Amino acid sequence: MQSELSGILEHVDRIQSLDLSEVEPTSHVVALENVMRPDEPRPSLPRERALEPAPDPYEGAFRVPSPNA
């Protein structure tokens, strides 16, 4: 994995040599602005559906090992 990553990085590093200081980085592909949604409620999932895929559902919640453990 290590050598593969190094090889890839070497190739990718080629772009370092380009002088692109005057160029704007692309941050958004579509030329859209202000796409918003009205503050109107949409139906939520019934709780059983929300918990169905859970690996460890418990009392209506998603149980996980405690971060402080």
Partner 1 sequence: MSANLDGYEAVIGLEIHVQLRTRTKMFCGCELSFGDDPNVHTCPVCLAHPGSLPTLNEQAVRYGIQIGLALGCEIAPRSIFHRKNYFYPDLPKAYQISQYDIPLARNGRLGDVRIHRVHLEEDAAKLIHVGESGRIHGSDASLVDFNRGGTPLVEIVTEPDLRDATAAREWLQLLRSTIKAIGASDVNMEEGSLRCDANVSIRPAGSQELGTKTELKNMNSFRFLERGIQAELERQVALVRAGEPIEQETLHFDPRTGTLTPLRSKEYAHDYRYFPEPDLVPLAPTQEMLEEARAALPELPAQRLERYQSELGIPEAQAKLLAYDGELGDYFEAAVGAGTEASATGIANWVTGDLTARLREAAGEDGEVHAADSRVTPQAIAELVAMVEAKQVTAQAGREVLAKLVVEGGSPAEIVEREGLASISDSGELEGIVAAAIDSDPDAAEKVREGNMKAIGPLVGYVMRETKGRADGGEVTRLIRKQLGLD
Partner 2 sequence: MSIRELIELSAAEALRRITAGEISAAELFDAYAAVPDELNAYLWRAEPGAADGNGAGAGAEGPLAGLPLAVKDIFCTEGIATTAGSRILEGYVPPYTATSVQRVTDAGARILGKTNMDEFAMGSSNENSAFGPVLNPWDKARVPGGSSGGSAAAVAAGLAPWALGTDTGGSIRQPAALCGIVGLKPTYGAISRYGMIAFASSLDQCGPLTRTVTDAALLLRELQGRDDRDSTSVGIEGGVELPSREDLRGLRFGVPRELGPEAEGIEAGVREVFERTLRRIEELGGELDECELPHSRHGISAYYVIAPAEASANLARYDGVRYGMRDPDARDLTGMYERTRGRGFGAEVKRRIMLGTYALSSGYYEAYYGQAQRVRTKIAEDFRAAFERFDFLVTPTAPTVAFELGSKTDDPLAMYLNDYCTVPVSLAGIPAISIPGGLAQPDGGGPELPVGVQVISPAFTESKLLDAAYALEQAIGFDARPPGFGGGEA
Which residues are near partner 1 by CB under 8 A? 27-30, 32-45, 47, 50-51, 56, 58-69
Toward partner 1, which CB reaches closer, 8 or 61? 61
Binds 59, which of partner 2, partner 1, none (CB < 5 to 8 A, cut-off by type)? partner 1
Of 38, 63, 42, 60, the C-alpha closest to 50 is 60
In whole angstroms, what is the distance from residue 61 CA to residue 26 CA? 40
- Could you say which of 15, 39, 43, 59 contacts partner 2 (CB under 8 A)? 15
In whole angstroms, what is the distance from residue 62 CA to residue 51 CA? 7
Toward partner 1, which CB reaches closer, 17 or 27? 27
